Each structure stands twice: as structure tokens, then as C-alpha cells.
Amino acid sequence: MQISLHIGVHCTDEDRLLKGLLRNADDFRKDGVSIPGPSRYRNLLSDAINNLGDNQPAAEAREVLLDAILDDDPDKVDRLILSHEKLLSVPKLVLVGGRLYRRLEQRLAAMQRLFPGDEIELFVGLRDFATFLPALLRASPVQSFEELLCGVDPMHLRWSDMIRRIQAELPSMPITVWCNEDTPLIWGEILREMAGIEMTRKIIGSFDIFSEIISAEGMTRFRIFLKENPTVNEAQKRRVMTAFLDKYALDDAIEEELDLPGWDDTYVDMLTELYDEDVWQIGQMPGVKLITP
């Protein structure tokens, strides 16, 4: 069985990916793709990993978990889709210990031991630290930004370090990543990659995120364009989407207010430049697929 495991990161999704996949669940089921609701597995997996620690699971652990997670016969499921952004950490603990998700290697290794013989592929949406850290602060019950940072200098944070740690512990685990900032343009591809289906296949909701940041008039015109140009390929669609955003984007939907002590425009721009360079480095890593517009 293949397992598509979406692990966040925090403040990039709000379960939109899972909801988008669930809208297509009946169609995908015909291809052996199962998309259970989150209540069936999130607490179950967290508890199983917490209880397992560094130990080996019982011989029947996989069968017990699948029996609880799946409605379908496991023998008829080729791909299982799971989304759990708190599998690695709760928001307030993301930087505890001075690095991103300090226990991610151990928790992912435990996940692999719980599903021996299955191929787990990770799916991770990344986010510019200039907006990720303020969003993480809002999502956490901590009293101050300093408490959230745990002594970490934001300028030293790199998502590529986190990816390398995963690869060092689990070198055979495929990893697919994308930038949260690009999500409106690549939403359909993310959904299809997680489901393991062809990029040309029609699905429900492939432009849902795009529709949130463009005016109603712009979206109407875009749908007319698609109807009049049914053979347009993905690359051409994205160029057209970019052109429509230039004209019809909703400024309030794409601009973020940043209000943190010491964070002036120059500081924010530096964080963004470091992030862009880091994403480029990630795109060069063997075993990593970077989805880009």
C-alpha cells in the first residue's frame, strides 16, 4: 500500500487540502484511493506514536490501525491519504529545543514502523518565515514572541535543514514539497499528486484557492477562458492565472500585515530572500519533488 502523508507545516492549510480531497473521494475510490475522515485517525496515530516511542510495534499493529482507519477492505486499497499537521508537534512547541520540529525524525520513523512494508510519501507545504512565525504566534497560547522562538534567530531558520534531517533518518521516503505562497496556482496539481492520479484528469475544486484571491469578475472571465480553450495545458493555465491575478487580484486576500517588534521592511525582505534561496536549494535535493507554478 502507498500512504500519502500530509504533515503541514502549521499555518499553511487549515484542512483545505483534506477537504478538497474528500470532495473527490467517491471518484478516487474507483482507483483504490481511500480518504478517511480525520476523526478516524488523527488522535489514533498520535497516541500510537506516543506510546510506541523508539520500540517496535506489536506484530498486529498495522492491521489494527487499518481496521480502525478504513471503511474499505485494506486489500482493495492501493493508496491511503492521511493529513495531520499536529503529528509532529503542536504549534507552541515547533521551535522548542532550538530547531524546527525537533522530534520529527523519531515520529516519522515510528510511523514507518507502524506501517512496515508500506511506502509512505510525505507531502509538506512550506511558508516564508516572515509570515510563518507571526502566524504560528497567533496559533499558539504562548505569552510572547520570545517564548515561541525559544532563543532561535529567525535568520538562521531553514526548511532545507528539516528536509535533510528527514532524509538522514528515512533516506528511502519520497518527499513532495511546495510553497504556501504558490498554492493558488498549483492547487490542482497538489491534489492530484496526493491522490496519485494523472495531471490531466478532471477533479472537483482544482481552482478553489485561486477563487479566494481573485474578484468574482476575474473568476468568471477565467472560467470562460477555460471553456473556450479546453485543450490548454497546465503550464499555459498557470500563465493565464498569473495574468488574471495581475488584473483581478483581491489585495486584501493576498497582503499580510506584519507587526512584530524589530521587524521593519528591510528585515522582512531579508527573511524572504533567505527563504527563496532555501526553496531553490530544496528543489535541487535528490528524492525531493518541488511543485512550482
Query: Over 90: is that where the pLDDT of 113 sits?
Result: yes
pLDDT for res 146: 93
User: Rounded mean pLDDT of 187-204?
Assistant: 95
pLDDT at 257: 66
Neighbouring residues of 127: CB distance < 8 A, sequence distance ≥ 6: 9, 11, 12, 135, 179, 180, 181
Cell numbers linked to 246: 495581475
- Judge contact between 57 and 117, C-beta under 8 A: no
Q: Output the nine-digit C-alpha cell for 190.
A: 497538489
Mean pLDDT on 187-191: 96
The residue among 228, 211, 102 whose CA lies nearest residue 165 is 102
Cis preceding-peptide flag for 94 (omega within 30 of 0): no
**Amino acid 262: pLDDT:** 81
CA–CA distance, 272 with 12 (Å, rounded to integer) = 16
Q: How confident is the model at residue 251 (pLDDT cuts 50, 70, 90)?
A: confident
Q: How many CB atoms lie within 10 A of CB 212?
A: 14
Is the per-residue pLDDT at 230 higher than 80? yes
Q: For 80-101, give the secondary structure using H, E and C.
A: EEEECCCCCCCHHHCCCCCCCC
Domains of the chain: 2-213+250-291 (3.40.50)
Q: For residues 272-284, give the mean pLDDT.
A: 98
Tell me the C-alpha distance between 226 and 212, whole Å.
Answer: 18
Mean residue pLDDT across the chain: 94
Preceding omega of 9 cis (within 30 degrees of 0) = yes
Q: Are 84 and 7 in contact (CB under 8 A)?
A: yes
Element housing 125 (H / E): strand 119-126
Structure confidence at residue 252 as a pLDDT band (50, 70, 90): confident
pLDDT in tens, 49-84: 999 999 999 999 999 999 999 988 888 999 999 999
